[in-house]
Structure formats: structure tokens, C-alpha cells
Structure 1
């Protein structure tokens, strides 16, 4: 008996799209892809790679990110929070935040032709966006469950991966009683790190005890 084929859906904020692209999707006229309007946005299937080239560059980027996530459908929803890893637009056609992933790759947005196809927007219209030829699925791949953390204190007893700019940092305590620290280029964690070191946990425990002993000695010393 044939198995039921299943697919998954990516839920993106409409803030990842420029005002021109949102208006183009809303018009829903002569679109090269199938778009279903919703009250809070749009639902569409992720098209094959060869059909991305005719789309606005901001939409091209988001669908490439969806392909990197291995999903078959995308829901753009105005009530969803934008992903900090990807470009976010202001209320017009300018980029408010380029996204941490593209910044880490050293890419910069520029004014690009909108090129949505016939009948909707003049071909001379431009938006601020990233050149589609500079993008790849690998660059836009966001690991499932990735969350953005504010600067603060956190506890990670099982270890943690941290992305900071172009760096991907792995912290983990292994069975050899050492804290292992690996620093890799973001997106190339399997290629070997630029820094690999290990700190003995016993050395850290000894330093804590020495600090506590010094504090106790200060507290017990007679006042001057």
C-alpha cells in the first residue's frame, strides 16, 4: 500500500517582505506562483528552484530559507515575530535589520530591481534586498529550535551551541572532567574549528575554593 506523503510548513512574519512585495501578493494577479490570501497574510507552496529567479528578491530569499528548512509550504503571517537571523523590513521597502546570518557572511543589501513579472509594478521599481546570486540554502539554514537570547546569565548543564556574529561556539562538559570549548565558522561546524581547547573542571573548583577561603579570611580579620 502506498504511504501517505507528508510535508511541513514554515511560519514567517510578513515583516520579512518589503511593502512592494506585500502589495504584489495582495493583488494576486498574474503571479508566477500559486498564492492563497489569508486575513493576516498569505499561504503558498515552495516552488522548484528554477522558478525562484522570477520572484522579487526578498521573497526569493525567504523561499530559499524555506527550502533550506526542508518544508513544502510557507505561511506569511503579520502576527508572527520576525526571525532575527533573516532580513526585516521597515514599513516601506528599506531593510531595518539585515539579519544576523547575512551580516555574519559579510553580505550587504543594495537597491535591486523588483522584477515581479508583467502587469503589477513597473520594471524600474526597486527595493532594498540581497542579491539572490549571493545566497544559498546552506547560508540560510536555521537549525530547528534555535532561539535568540538576550545578554544575560544562563545555565546549560547539558552543553550549548551559541551563535555570535560569524562564530559558532560549542560548550560541553565531557566525561573526562573537562569543559570543552570549540569555536567554528558559523555554518561550517563540521569542518573543524579555529579554536579547540579544554579546561580542567578540577582547576575551576580549586579556584572557587581559594576565592572562598580568601573571602572568609577577609571577613574574620579584625577591623582597622
Structure 2
């Protein structure tokens, strides 16, 4: 079975689980009974995207939002800004180099040829990416984790970032999104994606990570 089929199967599981709002998180649920609905868009052909979609959906559920996960066309995360502006989507998980290359290819080429390396290059890519945002779109600090291996120039870092419509989330939720983004590691996200590709249920593939880093208990069967 190919990765597309496996990831698509996982997406069905994500969507079904996200519709169920009452989850045991191990932390107080902050939302009122009428919870604000939010939609996360993911490329369901990508196991990495499926894993990230599950992580952010559980975080937002914990913060009191009614979360849905919507399938996007393949590689749509590279065009996250366009997705937010044209679709009924509130959050897309993408990577700095891929998004910069989509938003401003000339700036991406210039940065790739700049001679910057390491953390300085990662910060420059993040700053340049955020600089392309329209006023109604924002993100948080970049993750140290890298993803989107097939989407952007090899010369640019691909730090994972969630991109969302400004005003969708309150300050506490933005802080929580920032925290969970910052504690990600490349190897952890890659491992979760590999487990999903291997046929493991998505909730199990990221369950231990969510418990360790977010204090969110595994979903009940």
C-alpha cells in the first residue's frame, strides 16, 4: 500500500476523532459548551502532515476549540498563505523555506546564495518568510524541527511553522501553539510519520509524544 493511501486512511481517522470534542487531556478544558470551530488544513498524502495535523488538533482541542481537519491537495502546504486566503481553513502547518520559495522565489534564491549557515540561516529564512505575510496572517516562533523535505530549495532550512489567520486564537492559545511548536524535534516528527506510513493508527503514532510534551492523555478507544 502506498504512502498516499496510508496517509489518506489516517486522515479519515483524524477527522473522525477531531469531530469528537470531549477528550481526556489530563488538563482542564478551557472552552465553553459552544466551542469555537476551527479548521486545520493538511496534505493527506503526506504522513508528516497527518502527524502534525493530529498534534495541533489535539492542542487546540485541549484549549477549548472544536477542531476539524480538512484534506488539501498534495503539496498545498507550500502555498499556505493562498490556502488561508481562499479556503475555509484557519491553520496550515508548513515550513519556512518552502513557504518563502512560494511567496517570494527571488528572495528565496538570494537567501540560498547568501553564504549564511546554521542558526543564522534558519533565522534569516524565518524572518524573510514572515516578511511576506499579509497583515491578517501570522505564525509563532519557528520549530527547531525541520520538515517539508520535498517542497523547498535544498539550500534553505525548512523549520516547521503553523500559519494561521490573525484573530482566530486568543493569546493563551497562541502561547500554547508556540510552546508545542518549539518543543518539536525533527527525529520525533519523522518517527511519527514513519509509524503512520507503516500502518499504525495516528493517535498511537503521536500519543506518547503528546503525553510527554503536552500532558495530553491518549485518545480513548
Structures share fold, TM-score greater than 0.5: no
Q: Structure 1 or 2: larger helix share?
A: 2
Higher relative contact order (CA 8 A, sep 6+): 2
Q: Structure 1 or 2: larger strand share?
A: 1
Task: Report the TM-score when normalising by structure 2.
Answer: 0.28
